[in-house]
């Protein structure tokens, strides 16, 4: 496999950037890794009127409030609530311009063993966000998805595929001039909660005798938190409604990731966990028929008309080949150890 050291990590995804001055923004699941990074970036780059942190964990909100003191960031509002509760969502979305839906149950094994809980949050919660956004006349909604939603083999991926379908179809429910909904789909996030990176770093620091590897062939897409935040913001600006946005990001073998982060420690193969894939895919052959390509991203267009005034493709976009697919093992861009370590300043 050909490596392109650091090439895609140079992509900032900050063009285009929306103007969020005096905007009111709500983030579901905002106390998670993405939400905290998103709130920080918006405060650093823009002057929003209101930033609503919507989540169900009061202790995480307490911790987050300490990092964003009111005297410094008066725009932030902390709102206890669950996406399973539509009435609470409607109350929180009053006067909101933009919603970023990041709340989800995301652990693959947890979803396999607790399927009803996964469905209640990821599927019924998505429907609640849609209904609340429409009733509160929110302008735009971006829902965060996952590479596991394409050709899903586990319940988490299947629930996020259902969620993606709900958000795309929601553009019909909102009617002419109503709320617009789109989806952002990307891969594993470095150093997010649940990422394997903190585990490998911890084992290396503790001088572990072995590093557990599920399968030496396993590959994954990788993106940094900053890239993910910038990508979501740029998609918020360019969305028309119904698109699934996918960034061009590099792949890396899990075994190479472990060797780079924990050099000199032997690996032990523990086997693929329930519901895991060897390789992830973000665009399938079937999706390719409605996919266009930009320099830094792919966009899966809605297969049915959801825009009032359809426009020709921009000059910077082109359709992909009919048999195209975007998978972590056949990706054209790869991270090597040097590029990976540069992300962490090593």
Q: What is the mean pLDDT of the segment spanning 8-23?
A: 83
Q: Does residue 315 have a pLDDT over 80? A: no
So what's the pLDDT on residue 311?
58
Task: Specify burial of residue 166 (Cβ count, 10 A radius: 0-12, 13-18, 19+).
Answer: buried
168 within 8 A of 206, measured Cβ to Cβ: no
Model confidence band, residue 238 (pLDDT cutoffs 50, 70, 90): very high
CA distance linking residue 235 with residue 155, whole number of Å: 27
Per residue in 194-236, pLDDT (tens digit) is 678 888 888 989 988 999 999 999 999 999 999 999 999 999 9
Query: DSSP secondary structure string, 124-168?
Result: IHHHHHHHHHHHTT-SEEEEE--GGGSS--SHHHHHHHHHHHHHH
CA contacts within 13 A on the Cβ side of 86: 13
Model confidence band, residue 42 (pLDDT cutoffs 50, 70, 90): very high
Q: pTM of the full predicted structure? A: 0.93
Per residue in 81-128, pLDDT (tens digit) is 999 999 999 999 999 999 999 999 998 889 999 999 999 999 999 999
Please give the positions annotated as active site: 148
Q: Does residue 7 have a pLDDT over 50? A: no
Kindly give the residue spans of alpha helices, DSSP state H, lying in the chain: 33-45, 58-67, 86-92, 108-113, 115-119, 125-135, 155-174, 196-205, 225-238, 254-261, 337-343
Q: Which domains does the chain have, with CATH numbers?
A: 8-187+224-248+284-323 (3.40.50.720)
So what's the pLDDT on residue 2?
39
Residue owning tokens 């993910």: 228
* pLDDT top residue among 331 and 272: 331
């Amino acid at each position: 496999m050909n490596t392109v050291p650091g090439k895609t990590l140079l992509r900032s995804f900050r063009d285009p950037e929306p103007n969020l001055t005096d905007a009111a923004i709500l983030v579901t699941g905002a106390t998670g890794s993405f939400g905290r990074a998103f709130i920080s970036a918006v405060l650093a780059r823009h002057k929003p009127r209101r930033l609503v942190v919507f989540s169900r964990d009061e202790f995480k909100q307490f911790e987050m409030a300490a990092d964003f003191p009111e005297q410094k960031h008066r725009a932030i509002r902390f709102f206890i609530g669950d996406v399973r509760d539509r009435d609470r969502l409607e109350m929180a979305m009053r006067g909101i311009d933009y919603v970023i839906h990041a709340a989800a149950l995301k652990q693959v094994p947890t979803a396999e063993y607790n399927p009803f809980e996964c469905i209640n949050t990821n599927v019924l919660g998505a429907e609640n966000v849609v209904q609340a956004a429409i009733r509160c006349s929110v302008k735009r909604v971006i829902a965060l998805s996952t590479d596991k939603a394409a050709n899903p083999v586990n319940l988490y991926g299947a629930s996020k595929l259902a969620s993606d379908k709900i958000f795309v179809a929601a553009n019909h429910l909102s009617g002419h001039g109503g709320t617009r909904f789109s989806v952002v789909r990307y891969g594993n996030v470095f150093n997010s909660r649940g990422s394997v990176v903190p585990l490998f770093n911890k084992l290396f620091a503790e001088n572990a005798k072995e590093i557990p590897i599920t399968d030496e062939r396993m590959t994954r897409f990788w993106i940094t938190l900053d890239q993910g935040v910038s990508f979501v913001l740029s998609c918020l600006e360019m969305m028309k409604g119904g698109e699934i946005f996918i960034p061009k990001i590099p792949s890396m073998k899990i075994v190479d990731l472990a060797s780079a982060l924990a050099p000199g420690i032997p690996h032990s193969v523990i086997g693929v966990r329930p519901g895991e894939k060897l390789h992830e895919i973000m665009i399938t052959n079937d999706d390719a028929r409605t996919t266009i390509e930009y320099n830094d991203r792919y966009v899966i267009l809605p297969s049915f008309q959801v825009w009032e005034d359809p426009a020709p493709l921009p000059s910077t976009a082109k359709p992909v080949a009919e048999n195209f697919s975007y998978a972590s093992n056949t990706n054209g861009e790869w991270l090597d150890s040097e590029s990976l370590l540069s992300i962490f300043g090593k």
